[in-house]
Amino acid sequence: MTYELYYWDGIQGRGEFVRLALEEAGADYIDITRQSGHGRGTGAMFAILQSDSEAHIPFAPPFLRDGDLIIPHVANILLYLGPKLGLAPGDERLRYVINGLQLTITDFVAEVHDTHHPIATSLYYEDQKEEAKARSADFIKERIPKFLGYFERVLRQNPDGSKHITGDTLTYVDLSLFQIVEGLLYAFPKAMSNYRNKYPLLAALHDSVAQRPNIASYLRSDRRLPFNTDGIFRHYPELDIDMS
């Protein structure tokens, strides 16, 4: 069965956390809005979102279709895909542990978004630039250390070693943490300039994921869209502060 991923075209965004899992597993999937033809493109996504007859319609992308089943929300999608793709612990109880970690990443991503849109998503960045500067300064000073410090501690306290966030094998949360670091390095290069010294285990995890054959191949491909100022992680020099 071919998985169908629905997300906005032109940006990595939240959909990228799902793509990384699918790419690492070598899964058969279609990125619907990046395709043309019948049942493809952004129109196909809106047809589901605005459907008057589709059962269990999602509120917003990303969502995944597997046959007749439509699954919304990144953490929910990864909870579903993890066991199928070999990216979740065999112990069912630990699957809820890593789901909790992924939900924490979801919280972090929401705060990243709010650095450039602190007032309203309906306004342009330029309409809230001064507020974004204040929000970003607090984010860099307080929230980045809070979240990255937490994940560093989870890695350090993993009974099976610090190479993975849980257990002794790769999970989808490891892949998501790679994306978090990548995004922060793009959006806040000054703030992240000393992150390897502050969070060495997280840095090592990031590097090991980047070197995995399927991930490395994906990162070199045109399937991996570059970061830009339309996505979740945006680089505005005026929002970046050196905290080293």
Mind listing the pLDDT tens digit for each residue in 19-49?
Answer: 999 999 999 999 999 988 888 999 999 999 9
Q: Do 107 and 73 fall within a single domain?
A: no
DSSP β-bridge partners for residue 66: 69
Last residue of a domain, one of 56, 85, 114: 85
The percent of the chain in helix, strand and coil, each rounded to the nearest 5, is 55, 5, 40
Whether residue 187 lies inside any domain: the answer is yes
Whether residue 221 lies inside any domain: the answer is no
Mean pLDDT of the chain: 96
SS3 (DSSP) at 70: strand
Peptide bond into 89 cis (omega under 30): no
- Indicate the DSSP class of residue 128: G
Domain range for residue 127? 92-212
Place of tokens 């929000």: 135
Reported as a single tens digit per residue, the pLDDT across 183-217 is 999 999 999 999 999 999 999 999 999 999 999 99
Q: How many domains does the chain have?
A: 2
Q: Do 77 and 152 fall within a single domain?
A: no
Global pTM value: 0.96
